[in-house]
Chains A and B, each alone.
Chain A
Amino acid sequence: MMSSRDSILSQIRQNKPEEVALPAVTTFASNFANTEDKFREMLAAIYTEVIVVKNLEELAQKAEALYQGIVNRATTIPALSAWADFSLNVSDPHELETVEIAIVQAEFGVAENGAVWISDQYLPHRVLPFITQNLAFVIPRNALVDNMHQAYVRLQDTLGWGCFIAGPSKTADIEQSLVIGAHGARSMVIFLLEDE
């Protein structure tokens, strides 16, 4: 007897339509007047604050001011190690359940939708940006692309795992009323780092 794999494939071969080519055009340019302005505009609409910082020193000051009085602060950024009080050096990701705020280095942002790309390359644990109660990303100020087509030009390899994250977690499953903080982060801040 044929395996399910082979019987599915053979039925597909028998039933598939005639050969066609891929469409010639599958990418488009967005031509925003100002990419960063668009990025900010999209993030404002999804309850995300964008803060420009000149250098890592200013980042540390801003982090201190913004998350005053919060315990269980974690970060992947060495310059913030004095600010953090929670070590990400754990073997079991379940131990991250008490993280209140994580400030995490990420790769780049997308202006058309406010999404930021984060991947295995920047994270000791994949669950960190989801399990933390509050999330902040730090990306270079010049690391912004206009749209998703450009994003995938940049992302030749998505690594083992990666994610576009646009704003805090949300749901509108109860009578279409928007509620921020479904299962993931309850708040999101994006630091645009000028230096480097």
Chain B
Amino acid sequence: MSKTVMEHAEASAVFNRDEPYVNWHDETLWFVRQKRDKSSKQLPEWEELREAASGIKHYVLAHLDELLISFEQKAKENGVQVHWAANAAEHNEIVLGLLKKHKIDKMVKSKSMLTEECHMNEFLSKNGIEVIDTDLGERIVQLRNEPPSHIVLPAIHLKKKDIGDLFHEHLGTDAGATDPQYLTEAARQHLRDKFLTRRAALTGVNFAVAETGGFVVSTNEGNADMGAHLADIHIACMGFEKIIPKQEHLGVFLRLLARSATGQPITTYSSHFKKPREGQEMHIVIVDNGRSTQLGRKDFRNSLKCIRCGACMNTCPVYRRSGGHSYHNAVAGPIGSILAPNLDMTKNADLPFASTLCGSCSNVCPVKIDIHEQLYKWRQVLAKEGYVPKSKEIGIRAMSTVLAAPRFYQWSGRLGRTVMRAMPFMVNNALNPWYKQRDMPEPPKESFRDWYVRNRKN
């Protein structure tokens, strides 16, 4: 939102002030990761499925133009109106134009990370349109005037007490009530009224099929369908990389998506839209917003294979201990950190550094994106093009001086160990970022090199 944006490390420090809370956040997401593991191990063909999905998406990247043209043609034949938006602003104008044309000033929306990326809600609200997010987690963060902190679990950073207080204030639930069943019921009643009274519904798109012109929207709550089937006008917004060649390929992707996301074998609803219902208007907005640029970056184009399952976030030791908001981007976590610099290198230069490069993200990715390698490569690009913060640059330069001179390296190692032993306060203080949330290790008496030299003599 319009708050001052903190860098990832800075925001993480704030997030880490409350240790029990951070532990809870960490464990909750790890639990989701474990559900994914359990579910994927039920399928002996899991690795082959990932390979197939990655291969299909590779084909998509190499044939995007033809696939999009085929999709457009089929969608038009199906009675769907197709719009193209080069960037976020054009996307937002298209949606506003459609609403104005129908004299609609209130709309329901199901989950769409693309509209988050385009900051559509803020834009529409400034233009007098009320947008109600209908996914429970999204409604929660919307009432808090916050963006989602996770692409699949938008309110994962909140405790039930936070939500109880929020609903007491906005939905009139009992003060102090925290029972999830009770709170969900209150939201169901509140949102049912919106579904029944709104004439426009906007949804995201999980997969768009070039062969048929149809598209699939997956939810567990049923909110996309409740909105779309009751509204006079259904607007579906998609980043152009959502295209897949054939309907049969949905078999591959729907088998991977929910298992990777939450460990479910499939989401409750996998809704296949192709033609508007009688008397309804259906629109598809195909959005570029930097994607065609990313397509041209050889090292980073694979990021466009992403199906937005969130598995890389759930497994990431940095995400789990820093929270989604610290990434200051619509898509957080490892995948967000390789998508964001493409959108804005100045604003997002910190994100590829928000990783230990442990590679867990790449290991769980259902479409086998080499996420940690791209994080590493972004660091080089950002440093080369001068986007790396001064503090980091000085550190890197000092490090390369030391590492390039063996004698200097030996001397500074010895000096460091002596200082840590004699004056531990020199490193155990707030000026040393390695001291945050942890004690510095006991310094060894000698380096491995010294030990080796001594013992070889014997």
Contacts of A42 in B (CB 8 A): 265
Closest residue of A by beta carbon distance from B153: A173
CA distance A155 to B28 in the complex (A): 38
Report yes or no: B48 in contact with A25, Cβ–Cβ below 8 A. Answer: yes
CA distance A113 to B43 in the complex (A): 12
B294 to chain A, nearest CB (A): 8
Q: Which 9 interchain pairs have the tightest Cβ spacing?
A: A184-B222, A15-B296, A23-B55, A182-B221, A160-B275, A173-B137, A113-B265, A127-B229, A5-B84
Contacts of B183 in A (CB 8 A): 174
CA distance A4 to B91 in the complex (A): 11
Contacts of A125 in B (CB 8 A): 229
Contacts of A52 in B (CB 8 A): none
Contacts of B341 in A (CB 8 A): none
- Select one of A22, A159, A165 contacting B59, CB under 8 A: A22
- Select one of A8, A152, A163 contacting B271, CB under 8 A: A163
Report yes or no: B90 in contact with A4, Cβ–Cβ below 8 A. Answer: yes
Report yes or no: B248 in contact with A152, Cβ–Cβ below 8 A. Answer: yes
Interface presence of A64 (CB below 8 A):
no
Instruction: List 17 additional A-B contacts (Cβ < 8 Å) besides A27-B248, A164-B254, A169-B269.
Output: A11-B292, A11-B293, A11-B296, A15-B293, A20-B55, A26-B56, A127-B225, A130-B225, A131-B229, A160-B78, A160-B275, A161-B272, A161-B273, A171-B137, A173-B184, A174-B180, A183-B195
26 CB-based A-B contacts, threshold 8 Å: A4-B86, A5-B84, A9-B68, A12-B68, A12-B295, A26-B56, A113-B264, A130-B222, A148-B250, A148-B266, A149-B248, A158-B272, A160-B274, A162-B271, A164-B272, A169-B268, A173-B153, A173-B155, A174-B140, A174-B160, A176-B28, A179-B181, A181-B184, A182-B221, A182-B222, A183-B188
Given A149-B251, A184-B226: A16 in contact with B61 (beta carbons within 8 A): yes
- Select one of B59, B90, B220, B248 contacting A21, CB under 8 A: B59
Report yes or no: A158 in contact with B223, Cβ–Cβ below 8 A. Answer: no
A32 to chain B, nearest CB (A): 11
Contacts of A25 in B (CB 8 A): 48, 52
Interface presence of B415 (CB below 8 A):
no
Closest residue of A by beta carbon distance from B274: A160
Report yes or no: B295 in contact with A158, Cβ–Cβ below 8 A. Answer: no
Interface 0/1 of B26-66, CB less than 8 Å to A: 00100110000000000001001101100110110111110
Report yes or no: B252 in contact with A17, Cβ–Cβ below 8 A. Answer: no
CA distance A15 to B292 in the complex (A): 7
A residues apposed to B, CB below 8 Å: 3-5, 7-9, 11-23, 25-28, 42, 46, 93-94, 97, 110, 112-115, 119, 125-127, 130-131, 147-149, 151-153, 155, 158-177, 179, 181-185
Report yes or no: B65 in contact with A177, Cβ–Cβ below 8 A. Answer: no
Closest residue of A by beta carbon distance from B265: A113
Contacts of B140 in A (CB 8 A): 173-174
CA distance A12 to B78 in the complex (A): 25
B residues apposed to A, CB below 8 Å: 28, 31-32, 45, 48-49, 51-52, 55-56, 58-59, 61-65, 68-69, 78, 84-86, 90, 134-137, 140, 153-156, 158-160, 163, 180-181, 183-185, 188, 191-192, 195-196, 212, 214, 220-223, 225-226, 229-230, 240, 245, 247-252, 254-255, 262, 264-277, 286, 288, 292-293, 295-296, 298, 301
B303 to chain A, nearest CB (A): 13
Report yes or no: B274 in contact with A12, Cβ–Cβ below 8 A. Answer: no
Contacts of B28 in A (CB 8 A): 175-176
Given A4-B84, A93-B230, A183-B223: A158 in contact with B212 (beta carbons within 8 A): yes
Most chain A C-beta atoms within 10 Å of own C-beta, residue among B245, B254, B292, B296 = B292
Given A8-B292, A148-B250: A183 in contact with B272 (beta carbons within 8 A): no
Report yes or no: A22 in contact with B55, Cβ–Cβ below 8 A. Answer: yes
Report yes or no: B64 in contact with A151, Cβ–Cβ below 8 A. Answer: no
Report yes or no: B226 in contact with A183, Cβ–Cβ below 8 A. Answer: yes
- Select one of A18, A94, A183 contacting B222, CB under 8 A: A183
A154 to chain B, nearest CB (A): 11
Contacts of A17 in B (CB 8 A): 58, 61-62, 295, 298, 301
Contacts of A175 in B (CB 8 A): 28, 158-160, 163, 180
B292 to chain A, nearest CB (A): 4
